A = this chain, B = another copy of it.
Amino acid sequence: MRVGILGTGVVGNTLGTKLVELGYDVKMGSRTASNDKAAEWVKSTGSSRASQGTFADAASFGEIVFNCTLGGISLEALKMAGGQNLRGKVLVDVANSLDFSKGMPPTLIISNTDSVGEQIQRTYPDVKVVKSLNTVAAPVMVNPQIVPGDTDIFVCGNDAGAKEQVKKILGEFGWKNITDLGDISASRGTEMWLALWVRLMMKNQNPIFNLHIHRPS
């Protein structure tokens, strides 16, 4: 299966590498076709299943596309990717709109009455946006076992079939406790979690952790 990755940062690299390891064909997209970071990533995988291109190339290539750009510029990146290249596809939105410009702790550029996930779904109504993985650090996304116990990962989105596809990939990553929070407006919750996540990270100076929800059985 072909996957497009939008973004060349740590999240795009980590997800791209894991997907290649799992046997997916992965094209990493950025503003330019010959981006250095994307080229380094392709080389690092040592696999002919990894390639690079523009945002539009990656969107067009992928049967499923991961948005790994910064939340504050995701709409701009998706505009470059092109709505026609994403139409009808599943877009896994992993973005958070953290703004570090005023130092630690960061605030969110979009929150409370809106979210990155909702913004994207509103702008591209014929794309099947599924918000997921944005609640944990990149190494945890693709290797949940580095945190002891079966901790929780969330999906939300308006299309049930799209969520099933994403849950299948999450299962391949090793996630066992996958909670469907409902429609895409639940992105607000998972994105605003970052405010607490950041404080927990600052306290321990370590991003390798995750939450598990306990309930009476």
Listed in ascending order, the chain A residues whose CB lies under 8 Å from chain B are: 105, 107-108, 111-113, 146-149, 151, 156, 179-182, 185-186, 188-190, 192-193, 195-200, 202-204, 206, 208-217
Q: Is the interface of A mostly helix, strand, loop or mixed?
A: mixed
- A148-B214 contact in complex given A111-B111, A181-B203, A200-B181, C-beta closer than 8 Å: yes
Q: Nearest residue in B to A150 (C-beta to C-beta)?
A: B214
- A203-B189 contact in complex given A146-B216, A210-B213, A214-B210, C-beta closer than 8 Å: no
> Shortest Cβ distance from A97 into chain B, in angstroms?
10
Given B179, B200, B210, which contacts A203 in the complex, CB threshold below 8 Å? Answer: B179
Is there contact, CB below 8 Å, between A190 and B185? no
- Tell me which residues across on chain B come within 8 A of A198, comparing CB atoms: 189
Q: Nearest residue in B to A151 (C-beta to C-beta)?
A: B214
> Shortest Cβ distance from A193 into chain B, in angstroms?
5
In Å, the complex CA distance between A107 and B188 comes to: 9
In Å, the complex CA distance between A80 and B211 comes to: 39
Is there contact, CB below 8 Å, between B112 and A216? no
Given B148, B181, B216, which contacts A148 in the complex, CB threshold below 8 Å? Answer: B216
Q: Nearest residue in B to A197 (C-beta to C-beta)?
A: B189
